[in-house]
Amino acid sequence: MKREYPERPFAAVGAVIKKDGRVLLVKRRFEPSREKWSIPGGLVELGERVKDAVKREILEEVGLEIKLIKLIDVVDNITRDKDGRIRFHYILSDYLAAPKGGVLKGNEEVLDIGWFTPEEASKLNLTKTSRHLLKKIGFLKPKKRS
C-alpha cells in the first residue's frame, strides 16, 4: 500500500531516547515532515509486535540498540492536503527508551542526527508529534501564555 494518500492508516513506532540529559533527534529526509527534526522510528511490519518494531526501527535508522522504559503515548498523525484530502495517516506508538549499545549513525532516511539538551531542542524545527512527546515527558516546558 502506498504511504501517500493511503487507503487506511499505517501503524508506526517511535522512541524518545534519553542519555545524560539529552534526547536523540533526527532530521527527516523524506515526507511527511521532510527537513523537520523528529524522534526516530518507522513502520510496524506485518506480524511484528510493536515493542519489537520500535527496537528494530531504531537499530535500522540510527544504529542504536535500545532498552524500552515505558509507553509515552499513542498519537494520531494525520496530514491533509490543501483540498482536505488525507495525504498521510499514521497511528504512532511512542516509547521512552535508553541506549544500550550500537554505534550512532543515521541511515538514508536521515539528513542529520544529534543529541540535544532541552534548550537546544526547543529551538529546532520539530515535528508537532515530537514536540508533544518531549513536553509530555517534561523534557520541554510548555510555552507560557500571557
Any domain includes 42: yes
Any domain includes 146: no
Alpha carbon distance 111, 62 (integer Å): 11
Predicted structure pTM score: 0.92
- CA–CA–CA angle 117, 119, 123 (5° rounding): 110
The contacts of residue 10 (CB under 8 Å, 6+ apart) are: 1, 3, 43, 89, 90, 91
CB atoms within 10 A of CB 95: 24
Any domain includes 4: no
The boundaries of the domain holding residue 64 are 10-136
Number of domains in the chain: 1
For residue 28, name the pLDDT band (cuts at 50, 70, 90).
Answer: very high
Residue type, 46: L
Any domain includes 108: yes
* pLDDT number for residue 143: 72
Mean pLDDT of the chain: 96
Any domain includes 145: no
**48-78, pLDDT tens digit by residue?**
999 999 999 999 999 999 999 999 999 999 9
DSSP label at residue 44: P
Enclosing H/E stretch for 101: strand 86-102
Enclosing H/E stretch for 94: strand 86-102
* pLDDT number for residue 88: 95
Any domain includes 2: no
Any domain includes 142: no
Quick one: average pLDDT of 41-52?
A: 98
What CATH number corresponds to the domain at position 22?
3.90.79.10
DSSP label at residue 141: P
Any domain includes 141: no
CA torsion, ordered 109, 111, 114, 119, to nearest 10 deg: -120
